[in-house]
């Protein structure tokens, strides 16, 4: 999934004959990984060159991906994979550096906040060392600044600032000719990510108006309000970019709508939400069968296999009791509970046995 | 089969679940490292064997190359492929170790194996008439199956099956016995035959065409070595597999006694229908830990290298419930397999004293 296919077709065909796999280039990975982890073919290897503590709970990783990585545009994100306790975990993060850094030095950065209970972010904060090689995929996402230049408004909350950092840096470098305003919401002054960088940017890039707002420093919490938006000149003509917690995004969208800004001019992007405390929440949820383009709601402890069959699908299965793994398939998002062990899965991409998996909240699977 | 009440069965179920849960809770780094080490070893053996083979005109090198490649295939089929396809490492979320996409170095396609072995054999273990692995529809291994004259020469069939084991396993899903009885038509089997031809062709191309051709001047030597390596693997895997269910004390079951069975009854059937053999660490690894067939059948999706660790606990559970735990030296167990094949080539009244339960 994370690999890039570059070999010629004949070589690829031959590889499949000889090694019995669709990604023959990765056949020798287990050996290569020992010799030089940067030679691994299955994903794009990226070496952690430096780890910078941004705030008490946020770190920036400076990565050097292998040269075959195809690059990115400001505002895009990547999947990374890391092995935590023997388990391969995939997560998506926004690239926080500018593509110019990649072009000039072959480096990219990810700015990652520690999420309460997050298996991967906690591991990154506590265990990841410089020099380690992690896996990376190609960049994706369409949270991209308009070209040619148009007036822009960014509304970011917390670690939602990361794709915006990449964009601002790029805009400053190419001298993007249009007014740019950033409203950046943080809990307290200590939580500002990349404060120096932002200040330096606003000093050298005159089109940028920077407004950092602390929400939790006053008795009464200070959220986005009408005055914030009314203070922005020519707001109606702006392209709005939102990235932050759902509460902030919903509020911003509402206020923008009230000002007559159309949905087509409002762009929002993926933001990693801390995994909610699901302990006492009811089972069931909206299930998306992405391969069949079907959305089905479910209640109670119906398994994904039952839900799929009730919806007229016939996923491959065998014993229906968790023994044979015939029913294993890829969950692309969402949380499920294992009926046999009672264990709750992580939110990321992984393989599950659908005959014993019960959705807990919205789930997407590849069927 | 040993008779147990539903209450006893559910206690058995709980006892075994406890063993399983303990392992599941402990899965992690150590298991990942183990299987990755095996995969690394396989890559080294495979590369080593292939590189040495063209120098096989020197007799000792020929022997070394053939043995290395044969062992590589054994390791890949038994300890890696078979176990990965059982989903033993699915929890690692590593796409190249995933049960549903893994494709192994043998004629049988992964998909066909997952259907016939993981599902049919492991769900209906040793139920005569439902578990098609019992005698592979070629051999008569239980008096529950009526004797036919063709069975009298079944020892020859057994030898042939062992020699061409990978082709036999590859064709297993064709269900020739049902074709003969006209229960199914060849047409229904066309998609399977197509897949079989594709994978079989791929395997034959690799070992019998491609590698001999790229080493053209020594093609016959490379061809002979590759045939030898496949033969070594065929004989070994067939032997290991026969020791797993066809030893003297391994029980068989009827469809009626298993209808609507509980998980506890399923456990009991797995415990009494399988047999282990003892040996050194490498014997276990090269058998894919099927030397712990009992543990494997009770917990088919636990990483196999854990079987030796939990074997003591499984034996204790067996003892507590008065269930026979079938084990013995490799030679002893294999001896009883050969006896079983021979004895059942004759009708019941001529086959000598019937073994305890078969
Ligand atoms: S159907 Fe057998 S494990 Fe799910």
What Rg do the C-alpha atoms of chain A give, in angstroms?
23
Tell the residue number behind the tokens 């949905």, with chain if given. A263
Tell me the two tokens of residue B332: 């002893």
The reported pLDDT for the residue numbered A279 is: 45
Q: Which chain B residue's Cα is nearest to A341? A: B21
Same domain, yes or no: A328 and A223: no
| Range from A77-91, B33-47, B321-335 carrying the lowest mean pLDDT | A77-91
Give B59's pLDDT tier (boundaries 50, 70, 90).
Answer: very high
**Cα(A353) to centroid(ligand 1), Å:** 6
Q: Is B205 on the interface with A (CB under 8 A)?
A: yes
Whether the per-residue pLDDT at B355 is higher than 60: the answer is no
Q: What is the mean pLDDT of residues B5-24?
A: 95
**Which range marks the domain in which residue A293 is found?**
284-365
Say yes or no: B219 contacts chain A, CB-CB below 8 A: no
In a domain, A277, yes or no: no
Cis peptide before A148 (omega within 30 of 0): yes
DSSP B6-47: HHHHHHHHHHHHHHHHHHHHH-SHHHHHHHHHHHHHHHHHHH
Residue A274 sits at the vertex; the CA angle it makes with A58 and A136, to the nearest 5 degrees, is: 65
> Which tops the pLDDT comparison, A2 or B276?
B276
CB of B79 within 8 Å of any CB in chain A? no
Residue A190, domain CATH: 3.40.50.80
Degrees, nearest 5: CA angle B326-B87-B309: 45
Domain end, chosen from A109, A141, A173, is at: A141
- Judge residue B255's burial from the number of C-beta atoms within 10 Å of its C-beta, 0-12 exposed, 13-18 middle, 19 or more buried: exposed
Which regions of A56-103 does DSSP assign to beta strands (E)?
A: 58-65, 77-84, 87-94
Q: What percent of chain B has pLDDT over 90?
A: 81
Element (H, E) at B313: helix B307-320
Does A100 map to a domain? yes
ipTM for this prediction:
0.84
Sign, Cα dihedral of B224, B226, B227, B232: positive
Query: Does residue B152 surpass a pLDDT of 50?
Result: yes
Task: Calculate mean pLDDT across residues B159-182.
Answer: 92
For residue A351, being part of any structural domain is answered with: yes
Is A36 inside any structural domain?
yes
Residue A323 beta carbon below 6 angstroms from any ligand 1 atom: yes
Probe residue for ligand 1, chosen from A355, A357, A358, A367 as the CB with the greatest number of ligand atoms within 8 Å: A355
Contacts of B114 in chain A (CB under 8 A): 318, 324-326
pLDDT of residue A271: 61
* Contact status of B262 with chain A (Cβ, < 8 Å): no
Q: Does B283 map to a domain?
A: yes
pLDDT at site B317: 97
Q: What pLDDT, on the 0 to 100 scale, is given for residue B257? A: 87
Pairing mode, strands A58-65 and A44-55: antiparallel
Within this chain, do residues A122 and A135 fall inside the same structural domain, yes or no? Answer: yes
In order of A21, A224, A234, A235, A240, the CA distances from A249 in angstroms are 44, 10, 21, 17, 11
Distance CA B242, CA B163 (A): 13
The DSSP annotation for B70-127 comes to HHHHHIIIIIIIIHHHTTTTGGG--GGG-TTT---SSSS-HHHHIIIIIIIIHHSTTB
Longest dimension (CA), chain A: 68
Indicate which of A15, A18, A19, A20 best probes the interface with B, i.e. most B CBs within 10 Å of its own CB.
Answer: A20
Query: Is position A71 within any domain?
Result: yes
Structure tokens at B53: 């083979």
Dist. CA B333–CA B318, nearest whole Å: 19
A158 and A263 assigned to the same domain: yes
pLDDT at A281: 56
Same domain, A176 and A255: yes
Asked if B99 and A31 come within 8 Å (Cβ–Cβ), the reply is: no
Ligand 1, atom nearest to A320 Cα: 1
> Do A342 and A306 fall into the same domain?
yes
Q: Which domain does B203 fall in, by range?
A: 6-351
CB–CB of B100 and A325 under 8 A? yes
Residue with tokens 């990510």: A193
Q: Are residues A85 and A161 in the same domain?
A: no
Residue B123 is nearest to which of A1, A90, A318, comparing CB atoms? A318
Give the pairing type, strands A180-186 and A152-157. Answer: parallel
Residues in chain A with pLDDT < 70? 1-7, 270-281
B21/A contact by beta carbon, under 8 A: yes
Cβ within 8 Å, pair B90-A21: no
Q: Considering the domain boundaries, does residue A17 fall inside one?
A: yes
**Is residue B78 less than 8 Å (CB to CB) from chain A?**
no
A265 and A176 within one domain: yes
Whether residue B352 has pLDDT greater than 60: no
pTM for the predicted model, two decimal places: 0.87
Closest chain B residue to A83, measured at CA:
B92
Helix orientation angle between B29-52 and B59-74, rounded to the nearest 10 degrees: 150
Count up the domains in chain B and report the number.
1
- Could you tell me if A188 and A210 lie in one domain? yes
Interface test with B, best of A32, A326, A336, A348 (most B CBs within 10 A): A326
CB spacing of A325 vs B103 below 8 angstroms: no
How many CB atoms within 10 Å of residue B184? Answer: 12
Lowest-pLDDT range of A110-114, A194-198, B95-99, B218-222: B95-99
CA angle at residue A258 from A257 to A261, to 5 degrees? Answer: 40
Residue B1 lies in a domain: no
Write the CATH number for A341: 3.10.20.30
Percent of chain B with pLDDT over 70: 97
Closest CA to A194 of A202, A173, A129: A202
Within this chain, do residues A34 and A52 fall inside the same structural domain, yes or no? Answer: no
pLDDT at residue B351 tops 80: no
Same domain? A318 vs A248? no
Cβ A86–B33 below 8 Å, yes or no?
Answer: yes
Closest partner residue to B90 (CB to CB) among A29, A31, A328 is A328
DSSP assignment of A279-329 equals: TTSPSEEEEEEGGGTEEEEEETT--HHHHHHHTT-----SSSSSSS-TTEE
User: Domain for residue A81, yes or no?
Assistant: yes
Asked, for residue A276, whether it belongs to a domain, the answer is: no
pLDDT band at B358 (very low <50, low <70, confident <90, very high): very low
Stronger pLDDT, A291 or B225, i.e. the higher one? B225
Last residue within a domain, chosen from A210, A243, A269? A269
Domains: count for chain A: 4
pLDDT of residue A7: 58
The answer to whether residue B39 sits within a structural domain is yes
Which residues in chain B have Cβ-Cβ distances shorter than 8 Å to A20? 103-105, 202
Mean pLDDT of chain B: 93
């Amino acid at each position: 999934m994370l690999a890039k296919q570059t070999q010629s077709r004949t070589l690829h065909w031959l590889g499949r004959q000889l090694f019995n796999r669709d990604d023959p280039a990765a056949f020798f990975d287990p050996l290569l990984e020992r010799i030089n982890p940067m030679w691994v073919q299955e994903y794009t290897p990226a070496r952690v060159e430096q780890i910078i503590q941004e705030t008490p709970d946020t770190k920036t990783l400076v990565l050097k991906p292998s040269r075959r990585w195809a690059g990115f545009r400001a505002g895009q994100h990547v999947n990374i994979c890391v092995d935590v306790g023997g388990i391969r975990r995939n997560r998506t993060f926004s690239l926080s550096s500018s593509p110019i850094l990649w072009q000039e030095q072959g480096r990219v950065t990810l700015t990652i906040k520690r999420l309460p209970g997050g298996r991967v972010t906690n591991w990154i904060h506590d265990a990841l060392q410089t020099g380690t090689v992690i896996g990376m995929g190609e960049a994706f996402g369409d949270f991209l600044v308009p070209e040619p230049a148009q007036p822009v408004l960014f509304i970011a909350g917390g670690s939602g600032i990361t794709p915006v950092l990449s964009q601002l840096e790029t805009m400053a470098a190419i001298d993007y000719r249009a007014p740019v305003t950033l409203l950046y919401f943080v809990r307290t002054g200590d939580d500002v990510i990349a404060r120096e960088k932002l200040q330096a940017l606003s000093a050298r890039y005159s089109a940028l108006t920077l407004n950092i707002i602390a929400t939790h420093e006053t008795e009464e919490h200070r959220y986005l309000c009408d005055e914030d938006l009314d203070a922005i000149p020519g707001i109606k003509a702006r392209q709005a970019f939102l990235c932050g917690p759902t509460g902030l995004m919903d509020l911003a969208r509402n206020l923008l709508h009230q000002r007559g800004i159309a949905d087509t001019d409002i762009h929002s992007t993926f933001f990693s939400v801390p995994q909610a405390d699901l302990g006492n929440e009811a089972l069931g949820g909206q299930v998306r069968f992405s391969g069949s383009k079907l959305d089905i709601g479910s209640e109670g402890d119906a398994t994904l296999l039952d839900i799929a069959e009730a919806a007229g699908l016939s996923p491959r299965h065998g014993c229906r009791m968790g023994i044979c793994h015939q029913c294993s398939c890829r969950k692309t998002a969402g949380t499920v509970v294992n009926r046999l062990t009672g264990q709750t899965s992580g939110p990321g991409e992984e393989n599950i046995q659908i005959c014993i998996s019960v959705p807990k909240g919205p789930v997407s699977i590849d069927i | 089969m040993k008779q147990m009440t539903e209450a006893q069965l559910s206690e058995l179920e709980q006892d075994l679940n406890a063993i399983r849960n303990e392992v599941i809770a402990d899965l992690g780094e150590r298991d990942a490292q183990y299987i990755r080490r095996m995969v690394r070893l396989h890559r080294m053996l495979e590369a080593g064997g292939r590189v040495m083979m063209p120098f096989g005109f020197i007799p000792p090198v020929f022997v070394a190359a053939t043995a290395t490649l044969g062992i590589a295939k054994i390791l890949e089929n038994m300890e890696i492929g078979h176990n990965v396809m059982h989903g033993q490492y699915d929890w690692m979320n590593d796409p190249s170790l995933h049960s549903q996409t893994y494709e192994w170095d043998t004629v049988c396609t992964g998909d066909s194996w997952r259907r016939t072995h993981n599902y049919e054999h492991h769900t209906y273990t040793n139920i005569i008439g439902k578990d098609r692995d019992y005698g592979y529809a070629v051999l008569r291994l239980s008096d529950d199956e009526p004797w036919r004259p063709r069975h009298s020469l079944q020892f020859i069939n057994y030898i042939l099956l062992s020699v061409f084991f990978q082709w036999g396993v590859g064709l297993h899903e064709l269900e020739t016995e049902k074709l003969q009885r006209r229960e199914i038509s060849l047409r229904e089997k066309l998609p399977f035959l197509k897949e079989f031809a594709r994978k079989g062709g791929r395997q034959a191309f690799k070992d019998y065409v491609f590698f001999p051709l790229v080493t053209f001047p020594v093609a016959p030597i490379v061809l002979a070595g590759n045939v030898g390596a496949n033969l070594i693997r065929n004989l070994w895997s067939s032997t290991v597999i026969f020791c797993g269910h066809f030893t003297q004390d391994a029980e068989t079951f009827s469809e009626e006694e298993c209808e609507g069975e509980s998980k506890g009854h399923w456990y009991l059937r797995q415990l009494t229908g399988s047999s282990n053999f003892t040996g050194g660490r490498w014997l276990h690894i090269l058998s894919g830990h099927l030397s712990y067939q009992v543990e494997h059948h009770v917990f088919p999706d636990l990483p196999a290298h854990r079987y030796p660790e939990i074997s003591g606990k499984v034996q204790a559970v067996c003892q507590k419930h008065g269930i026979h735990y079938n084990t013995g030296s490799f030679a002893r167990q294999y001896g009883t397999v050969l006896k079983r094949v021979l004895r059942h080539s004759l009708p019941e009244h001529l086959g000598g004293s019937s073994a305890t339960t078969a």
